[in-house]
Structure 1
Amino acid sequence: MKSTGLNINFQENAWWFIIANDQILLQPQGDFIPYGNLDDLPLSAELVINKIKLGVYQSSPCYLVTLPEQHDLGFGEYDDLRFLLGRVDDLLFEMAGRAFQIKLFYQTHQYCGQCGEKMHPINWEIAMKCYHCEHRCYPRISPCIIVGIRKENKILLALHRRHQKSNNPIYTVLAGFVEAGETLETCIHREVYEEAHIRVKNIEYVASQPWPFPHSLMMGYIAEYDSGDIKIDQKELCSADWYEMNNLPNVPNHGTLARQLINKLVNQSGQQTAPLSME
């Protein structure tokens, strides 16, 4: 990543990821992310002087602009990043997630964790460096697994404490962070047993998804039930049970890896009824 500093091209069409107070500025139509050049958008040179290039989407550059507070720029409204899930192209959502992770990285690495001195951004890569002790930091990425488990024509779904809502509870598959020294497969076996007290077999990799809440990389799998009776970890879960694939409760929205795993298990079973959509 490289900051453009004073080198601002006012005629350049670009995607603008404008973040303030952990929310992103969204337009009410189209792809939601503001697009255009600085002459078309009410963005002053002062606001974008330290814009950061995130990458390229649809042949146009993408820039992160971090504001100290939510300025009324005369267009759009600020909203949570989750609003974009399932509403925009996956690549555009990933770019928005990248914007949030880069912002968090610079925000939380102002001082050296080794000697305590001030850190400084490096202008040719995404990194911060302490010139006192030469310690260098890169954005944190936390690997985790997420697994859909099948038992005949049923799926194991759990109500996580973080997902509990009195008016619209969301039931999803099991997930957990990879610990030091673990393989992904070892993590699956451990997390499933810790959270539900069952064993699984025939683990199959499906896909991965960056998950910027705040900085995870999720590796998605499906597996088959092997043995054991459900006994939940009450610190993590409110409940867990086997649900018939043609009669599922509210599940995660399209755009999530959890939904992709659930859909894959339903399709493999040959059931006719698709999972319910989350509102």
Structure 2
Amino acid sequence: MLDLDQSAPDHRNDALHIVFQRGKLVMDMRSRQPCILGEIDISQNQWPVARERYIGHWSGQACFAIEISESSDIDAMRYQAGSLYQLLGRVDDGVFALAGRAAQLLDWERDHQFCGRCGQSMTTADGERALGCATCKTTLYPRISPCVIVLITKGDEMLLARNARFPRPMYSSLAGFIEAGESAEDTLRREVREEVGVEVGEIQYFGSQSWPFPNQLMLGYFAEYASGEITPDMDEIAEANWYHPKDLPPVPPPSSIAGQLIQYHCRRTQAG
């Protein structure tokens, strides 16, 4: 539903907006798609726009990511400012991806106001989604950080771990950032070894998901257990164990790729 081929319109009639204030997403609690606000919301509330980025066309309408002034008043009876996490499970995947794209574009612009090579101000490049430096000709594109996320299986059982930094008792698959010079498969084997001390055998690609916390692209895999005893590193992983589909701890929702991996494995064990 998101069309990236169309350029930004010359007018703002019927435009859609993903609105942020102080880094928080502004949501309309009366709407079925709470993160998508219309032009009338901006004008009637008289929200001054501090920054904006054209995202693309959503269902035929131009859509912009905007950050409103920190001093803007938000009607607490209608709007709520919160985290992108609050959208998980409340909207479909396309809408969540749209809001995530908006957040990433605004974060990228905020973090690259000046050239990292010569220190001069960056400006929007013509004809492409990029920031350019007129002095040294450096061009910067929105940053994407590739990660792997893997569900390790041993027969019907799956290895689930609790992250030491996660505030709630949630058990999930293992994940890690791809480092310079690594393939996704290299990263997978290294992260598993470092975090829980086991080795994996056959690897099978599952799918990917944009994860805007803040700018990851999650590459999902299944991996078969090969050897080793589970030994959490106690830095990132506080606890890890084997779990059967019939006796699962709290796991991520199906709107996340971690939840999708777990659900897929549960379905295939039932079918088999």
| TM-score, normalised relative to structure 1 | 0.88
- CA offsets, 1:152-210, max 9 Å, x none? 22110101012143xxx001000000011111111111111111111112211111001
SS of residue matched to 1:260: helix
1:271 shift after superposition: 7.4
- Mean Cα deviation higher: 237-246 or 118-127: 118-127
1:57 shift after superposition: 2.0
Q: Does residue 199 of structure 2 align to residue 160 of structure 1? A: no
Q: 2:253 aligns to what?
A: 253
| Distance (whole Å) between structure 2 residues aligned to residue 48 and residue 13 of structure 1 | 17
Where do residues 1-279 of structure 1 align in structure 2 (5 Å cutoff)?
7-9=10-12, 12-28=13-29, 29-38=31-40, 42-44=44-46, 47-48=48-49, 51-69=52-70, 71-74=72-75, 75-165=78-168, 169-270=169-270
| Distance (whole Å) between structure 2 residues aligned to residue 26 and residue 70 of structure 1 | 17
- CA offsets, 1:234-270, max 9 Å, x none? 2111111111211100001221000000011111111
Q: Retained in 1: the 8 A contact 2:51–2:68?
A: no
| Distance (whole Å) between structure 2 residues aligned to residue 225 and residue 251 of structure 1 | 20
Q: What amino acid is the match of 2:60?
A: S
SS of residue matched to 2:172: coil
Change (3 A) 1:254 1:72: farther
Q: Give aligned pairs, total.
A: 265
| Distance (whole Å) between structure 1 residues aligned to residue 35 and residue 116 of structure 2 | 35
| Distance (whole Å) between structure 1 residues aligned to residue 108 and residue 267 of structure 2 | 39
SS of residue matched to 2:105: helix
| Distance (whole Å) between structure 1 residues aligned to residue 7 and residue 21 of structure 2 | 18
Q: What amino acid is the match of 1:148?
A: L
| Distance (whole Å) between structure 2 residues aligned to residue 59 and residue 70 of structure 1 | 32
Q: What are structure 2's unaligned runs of at least 5 residues?
A: none
Q: What are structure 1's unaligned runs of at least 5 residues?
A: 273-279
1:36 shift after superposition: 3.2
| Distance (whole Å) between structure 2 residues aligned to residue 56 and residue 162 of structure 1 | 37
Q: What amino acid is the match of 2:155?
A: E
Q: Retained in 1: the 8 A contact 2:203–2:222?
A: yes
Change (3 A) 1:195 1:271: farther
Q: Retained in 2: the 8 A contact 1:148–1:174?
A: yes
| TM-score, normalised relative to structure 2 | 0.90
Q: What amino acid is the match of 2:40?
A: L
1:3 shift after superposition: 9.5
Q: Retained in 1: the 8 A contact 2:151–2:262?
A: yes
